[in-house]
Structure 1
Amino acid sequence: MNITSETVAVITGGASGIGLGLAEAVVDRGGSVVVSDIRHDALPAALEHLNGRGAPGRAIGVRADVSEAADVDALASSTMEAFGRVDLVCNNAGLVSPAMPAWEQEPATWDRMIRVKVMGVIHGIRSFVPHLVAQGSGHVLNTASSAGLAPLAGRSPYTTTMHAVVGLTETLDIELRAISGALGATVLCPGLVDTPLGANSATLGAISAPSGPPVDMRSLRPDILSPRQVADAALEAVAAGRVHVAPGGDVAERAQARVDLLLRDIIGRAPADRG
């Protein structure tokens, strides 16, 4: 699915980070965007940025908490009322969990991550996909992480939910394509991205705010991706009908190591030993 002047996209967690990068990429291609975020006070600046950049597309904002089914239903209703259609559903909202072993993670952390990152995606599918099916075309883009392709020790709630989003998207794509070749789903699994995810998670109470001055990640990791780089890669994958997109320098290697280990355990020998 290509983005055109007729395209309408909805993006949760769209006021910053990858979500804002996706919104930029859509409006720059001429599409219209409904930017949603739980942080109501973050929406005006995001909309000013998107609508003031001289891009051919336009953006509106709707506050929603993706962990609440009623909020996502209302987001879908607002989208249809404003534009009469929806073509690209970006279930992007997310949080990060504290850094500690699985057995030390608080039940509240597991609950929060599942409600936002798993149920948030499910709510987006339930509220929006019937509109895509009814019009016979459209695409779902679910944001996960490279932690959905390979384990990330010390962040087990995050890793668990990211794996769930990958499996959910793979299954959704099969279900959608059984209805129409013009329907599909893609899961975005980027590596390290320069976003305020940690700061936003702290603001929302998911993790403790780090002490000391902000860290300049680009000075530490010159290879870190920008949100716009990730967004452009994601939309290229959507246009190509790919189920997986994983921008980032070391993501493929980490995924390959996991697959090799999986096959070794299942088959009983290393993949290279198969004859």
Structure 2
Amino acid sequence: MALRIDKGQVAVITGGASGIGYGLAEALAARGVRLVVADIREDGLAEAQESLRAAGAEVTAAATDVSDAASVRRLADHAVAAYGRVDLVCNNAGVVCPAAPMWEQDDRTWERMIGVKLRGVVHGVRAFAPLLIAQGTGHFLNTASAGGLAPLPGRTPYAGTMHAVVGLTETLDAELKQVSQALGATVLCPGLVDTPLGENSAALGAIRLPPGADSMRSAAAGRDGILTRREVAEAALAAVAAGRVHTAPGAGVARRARTRVEGLLADIAAGEGAPPGVHPAGSA
């Protein structure tokens, strides 16, 4: 069953001070949803809260490190104390990794990516799922990437965690629906989006950003179209409202995903035709 997004509901958004998170906050506020905006960057969080309030949103903010389970539990307590309930949890906080082959990516990069992009979602689910289950309705919106639907050479820590979030969300949706058809989960896998993700990642020490490259727009030169944060947010909320498990806005994303799935199915079919005990060339 889909989550009907109505005025007076409550949404929690991690990574909500900028980018897709802020776009989600804007789109939800326009629907009359009350907001709990969380981010690790306290200065950006204060600015986002002020801007949203100036636009008429009912919003509270909480500095949160999603890689820390205790910090996310405090976020859940903050949300309940502020509004008494939660209807939509947007596990959206993100960071990018340096461009390098997998064997050159260092341990700190892997720890950061797993901590923020994978464990951040895990912590969000563990903190909020009991609340949604107790009230009998609610939805998770987990932000991944087009990099979670197809290979992304040179960004293995990013692609690996994004693939994990896709699989995690698919399984989470099935588990929630075993509890109640009024519960569910959606994974957001956008293509290129005009956000300050690169700049924010550099500020957190995750990457080194070339001078003047202050947004993802620089990465889009000569490539398929780039989305605005609000376009991505509207696509995500439409998927939640329709009860879809996946949404992947952006030019070329569906094509890349289809190529990957067709290759996967071809490999599986080739393996099924092999004699017992004989592995097709290149298989394990």
The alignment's TM-score, normalised by the length of structure 1, stands at 0.94
TM-fit CA distance, 1:216? 8.0
TM-fit CA distance, 1:214? 4.3
How far apart, in 2, do the equivalents of 1:214 and 1:84 lie? Answer: 38
TM-fit CA distance, 1:211? 2.7
Structure 2 match to 1:238:
240
Structure 2 match to 1:142:
142
Structure 1 match to 2:275:
none
AA partner of residue 111 (structure 1): E
CA gap of 1:215–1:204, structure 2 versus 1, over 3 A, is: closer
Asked if structure 2 preserves the Cα contact closer than 8 Å seen for 1:203 and 1:209, the reply is: no
Gaps of 5+ in 1: 270-275
Structure 2 match to 1:263:
265
How far apart, in 1, do the equivalents of 2:212 and 2:40 lie? Answer: 26
AA partner of residue 164 (structure 2): A
Gaps of 5+ in 2: 272-284
Asked if structure 1 preserves the Cα contact closer than 8 Å seen for 2:95 and 2:197, the reply is: yes
How many equivalent residue pairs? 267
Structure 2 match to 1:46:
48
How far apart, in 2, do the equivalents of 1:131 and 1:49 lie? Answer: 29
Asked if structure 2 preserves the Cα contact closer than 8 Å seen for 1:12 and 1:92, the reply is: yes
Q: Give runs of ≥4 in structure 1 deviating > 4 Å.
A: 212-216
In the alignment, does 2:103 pair up with 1:112?
no
Tell me the SS of whatever aligns to 1:268.
Answer: helix
TM-fit CA distance, 1:105? 0.2
2:28 counterpart (5, 26, 29)? 26
Structure 1 match to 2:18:
16
Asked if structure 2 preserves the Cα contact closer than 8 Å seen for 1:190 and 1:247, the reply is: yes
How far apart, in 2, do the equivalents of 1:234 and 1:243 lie? Answer: 10
- Give % identity: 61
Asked if structure 2 preserves the Cα contact closer than 8 Å seen for 1:144 and 1:187, the reply is: yes
The worse-fitting range, judged by mean Cα deviation, of 2-11 and 22-31 is: 2-11
What's the CA shift string for 1:58-111, capped at 9, x where partnerless? Answer: 111100000001100000000000000000000000100000000000011001
How far apart, in 2, do the equivalents of 1:74 and 1:6 lie? Answer: 22
How far apart, in 1, do the equivalents of 2:216 and 2:15 lie? Answer: 22
The alignment's TM-score, normalised by the length of structure 2, stands at 0.91
Structure 2 match to 1:272:
none
